[in-house]
Amino acid sequence: MTTDLAQLDASAQAALVARGECTPSELVEAAIERIERVDPHLNAVIVPLFERARADAANPQLPAGPFRGVPLLLKDLGCHVAGMSVYGGTKFLRDHDWRSPVDSFLAQRFRAAGFIFLGKTNTPEMGLSPTTEPLTYGATRNPWDPERIVGGSSGGSAAAVAAGLTPLAHAGDGGGSIRNPAGACGLVGLKPSRGRTSLGPEIGEGWAGCTTEHVVTRSVRDTAAVLDCVAGPGTGDPYFAPPPHRPFIEELGRDPGVLRIGCFTNNEHTPAHPEAAAAVTSAANLLSDLGHEVDDNYPDALNEPNLGHLTSTAVSANLAQQLDGMAKQVGKPVDEGGFEPATWAMAQRGWALSASEYLQTVEGLHAFGRRLRTWWREPPTNAGYDLLVTPTMAEPAPYIGEVRGASIERILRLVPYTMAYNVSGQPAIGLPMYWTREGLPIGVQLVGGYGQEALLLRVAAQIESASPWQERRPRLHA
């Protein structure tokens, strides 16, 4: 085949298969070749599943979904597949070679869509860091500048997609882990509304309702089309997002109307690098040129100083519970030697919390989410703003080694813009709309009201058409 598959998004690759111009095996073999050639410079794919993928591609019973034959990388955290290893960046699970006994609902839906699982991608230990530099597997390098970080915690997935190893990859987001890596690597990254995608059957909610899963992509149409494949509740889910009026892919090209849009870059708690502020200004100008009403208003709740304390407390409690679960899964107690010092310290904080303290924390998070969401146009009042524009990260991707092991204050200075919407459950999408003078991408985040993925996708498609990014290629690319 003469087509350069590394240049195509997942929808285009699937179309080749549907037209009989390419076979699933050809897509898989081409992706394996790209990984073997390029990934030694990136360290994005930590567990190859090549023989399994070859067998799946050759199987005549491969599901005839909309992405039949397209290779997909899975983040090594979440989206469990029966019989497949899950290490979560930890030495403890890696040394015990723990494997999931069941498929997650998300894995079942990926498979039904026709995707072929090609490997697992690098992630910081337990998804706790905004940089993908776990001790267990080492740092993943940014294709735009190999000395820079890729963000976290879906950093391996973002690096692989940006470098053209696969057209998209699974990602998860508990505080920005889809949007921040997408921003650092020049990709599209949608964090769906709470309950839009299922974490079942093993998990009802993660991190007190903050976590969700989807993909990182190179095109808005891939983001929308995959959401159509995976959205919806699983059996027994504790909550689910309101169903869409039509398939998400049909929102692309629809007129979003004249929207009321606010912008947020700075307050006393969230100083933005000049390049990050410039990214928001550039996005605001484009949105204004597209006919929207844009100003500098933003939710008052973003001025509150205690969100970091509340979220870190909730995550600590959830982490302690996760480590207890690991001990049961492998049949051996967890110990300090199986985890990085920061992970162990956070788990100890969680084990020390009382049940009352934890529930007070969750109530505090819920109250913050209610205060935050009053700024958006949501039923029943139907008043307020439609979208908020922010950076994804507060600065261009730092150098490898600069953030890992840093103080919580340094980490919060890097990623102050994303966690609030995990807490409130709102959808938010990161778009590659700006590059620095050094050629580094800075993502711009659009935040919608709860359940408003359709509106986000309409506007994202409008932006993509007005200011396309598909022709940009990083330094390391297949």
pLDDT digits (tens, 9 = 90+) for 103-156: 999 999 999 999 999 999 999 999 999 999 999 999 999 999 999 999 999 999
Structure tokens, 384: 């307020």
pLDDT at 320 over 60: yes
pLDDT of residue 1: 58
Give the residues across from 142 on adjacent strands.
145
H helix runs in 44-185, sequence order = 50-58, 91-95, 105-112, 155-162, 179-185
**Residue that the structure tokens 């598959």 belong to:** 5
3-state secondary structure at position 169: strand
The mean per-residue pLDDT over the stretch 321-328 comes to: 97
Residues 27-51: tens digit of each pLDDT: 999 999 999 999 999 999 999 999 9
Backbone angles phi, psi at 446, to 5 degrees: -110, 130
CA–CA separation, 415 and 410 (whole Å): 9
Closest CA to 129 of 100, 157, 149: 149
> What tens digit of pLDDT does each residue of 332-390 get?
999 999 999 999 999 999 999 999 999 999 999 999 999 999 999 987 777 899 999 99
| Sequential DSSP letters for 239-270 | --PPPPSS-GGGGTTS---SPEEEE----TT-
Copy the structure tokens of residue 161. 């997609």
Provide the percentage of residues in the chain whose pLDDT is more than 70: 99
Taking residues 6-23, report their average pLDDT.
97
Domains of the chain: 5-466 (3.90.1300.10)
Torsion of CA 180, 186, 188, 191, to 10 degrees: 0
Catalogue the active-site residues.
Answer: 75, 153, 177
Does the pLDDT at position 439 exceed 90? Answer: yes
Q: Among 422, 467, 416, which residue's Cα sits nearest to residue 441?
A: 467
Mean pLDDT of the region 426-455 = 98
Tens-place pLDDT, residues 202-225 = 999 999 999 999 999 999 999 999
Distance CA 13, CA 412 (A): 38
Residue 5 near residue 27 (C-beta atoms within 8 A): yes
Say whether the peptide bond before residue 201 is cis (omega within 30 degrees of 0): yes
- For 364-440, strand residue ranges (E) read 387-391, 428-435
CA–CA gap between residue 191 and residue 443 (Å, rounded): 14
**pTM (2 d.p.):** 0.98
291-308: average pLDDT: 96
Average pLDDT on 435-443 reads 97
Q: How far is the C-alpha of 280 from the C-alpha of 278, rounded, in Å? A: 5
Reported confidence tier of residue 185, pLDDT bands at 50, 70, 90: very high
pLDDT of res. 409: 84
Give the tens place of pLDDT for each residue, 60-103.
Answer: 999 999 999 999 999 999 999 999 999 999 999 999 999 999 99
Whether 169 shows a pLDDT value over 60: the answer reads yes
